[in-house]
Structure 1
Amino acid sequence: MQLLLIRHPQPMLDKRHCYGASDIAVAPEVLQSCCERLLPQLPRGVAIVSSPLQRCAQLAQALAKALGQEAVVLQAGLREMDFGTWERRAWDDIAWSEVEAWNQDLLHYAPGGGECLLTVARRMWEVFADLQRRQAEQLIVICHAGTIRMFLACAAWQSGQVGPAHPDAAALEAIALQAAATRTAISYGEVIRLDVATA
């Protein structure tokens, strides 16, 4: 199975602000431009699964219409990490002591009282396993940079296993930390092709 992982278009909030689970819109012209760039890269007749956040769902719906797909599956588990009270705040306005507390305990510290990285890893593993059970040759998945990194880490862990396996607590911690350590930039509207085993 191949997952065509696509990061949403640039939302109407710049990188000077913290955002994850916030439902931030995309400017119509940005959405249209992203859709036009993506269409030549995507196959027809392939199911589209999307984060329910509008910066993803709007792109998924536009692509589905252009590709002649009947519907988009909105998968709640694909949403970006929840940064709690940090959401939509300028990074410069968040106390350095809070950011440093997160840096010191990436796995368990919940920024702004939202989600900790380990919680996101558990959620994303369940989504990853669910997509594998669909038995499709390809799936188009519209989501976020953080969730794409989690997919890559899930696939890397799975590739090192013999036969079907479900990660235990230690493996989930390793998956979460690998995703956090991935520094490769993922551009808005970028397609990453990920080959994974079917369940």
Structure 2
Amino acid sequence: MLLYLIRHPQPVLDQHTCYGRSDIAVAPHMLQPCLDSLLPLLPRDVPIFSSPLQRCAGLARALATRLGQAQVVLEHDLLEMDFGHWELRRWDDIPWDEVEAWNQDLLHHAPGGGETLPAMARRIWRALQNLRTCAAPAAIVVCHAGSIRMLHACAAWRDEQLAQLATGSTPLPDARAWEDIALRAMAQRRQIGFGEMLRLTLAPP
């Protein structure tokens, strides 16, 4: 299965504001250029999945219209990381000791009391399993940079486990696996641009 993973267009907020789970609109002038660049790269007649946040769902619905798709499947587990009470605060206004507590324990500390990285890995794994159930050779997925990194990390962990087990059955992650997947996602330093598309090939079930 081939996934066309697309990060949402640029939102109205800038990089100096913390936003993850917050429902932020797309900058009005950014949607059409994003559509124009993506449409020549995408297949028709494949299902379209999206994070329910408007910065993703708006692009997904516009793509569906242009590609002749009847609907978009909104997948809650594709949401960006939850930053708790940090959401919509300027990074400079977040107390340094809170930021440093996260820096000291990136795996287990929930920034702003929101979500830990292993918890995010668990739900992104669920999202990936749901994508597999659509029984299509390809799918378009509009979501967030953090979600895209975690999808790649989940797929890489699964491929590695399949190669080691050589049983053909899908491995079931445990607590240590969620940490491993989170670490893989953290190790992906490449920036994913707004409206950028990455391809991810999933091994057969």
Q: Structure 1 length normalisation: TM-score?
A: 0.97
Partner of 1:51: 51
In structure 1, what residue type is equivalent to 2:70? E
Gaps of 5+ in 1: none
Name the SS of the counterpart of 1:194 in structure 2: strand
Name the SS of the counterpart of 2:30 in structure 1: helix
Residue 171 of structure 1 deviates from its aligned partner by: 1.1
1:13 aligns to 2:19 (yes or no): no
Partner of 1:80: 80
Deviations 1:50-73 (A, max 9, x none): 000000000000000011110000
Contact 2:119-2:178 within 8 A present in 1 as well: no
Partner of 1:160: 160
Deviations 1:129-182 (A, max 9, x none): 111222210000000000000001011111112322111111111001111221
Partner of 1:134: 134
1:22 aligns to 2:14 (yes or no): no
Contact 1:132-1:198 within 8 A present in 2 as well: no
Gaps of 5+ in 2: 163-167
Partner of 1:102: 102
Query: Structure 1 residue runs of 4+, over 6 Å off?
Result: none
Q: Structure 1 CA distance, aligned partners of 2:200 and 2:146?
A: 15
1:66 aligns to 2:71 (yes or no): no
Name the SS of the counterpart of 1:176 in structure 2: helix
In structure 2, what residue type is equivalent to 1:56? C
Q: Structure 1 CA distance, aligned partners of 2:144 and 2:38?
A: 16
Q: 1:169 aligns with which of 154, 171, 175?
A: 175
Name the SS of the counterpart of 1:192 in structure 2: strand
Q: Structure 2 length normalisation: TM-score?
A: 0.94
Aligned alpha-carbon RMSD (Å): 0.9
Q: 1:196 aligns with which of 177, 180, 202?
A: 202
Deviations 1:13-68 (A, max 9, x none): 00011110000001232111111111111111111000000000000000000111
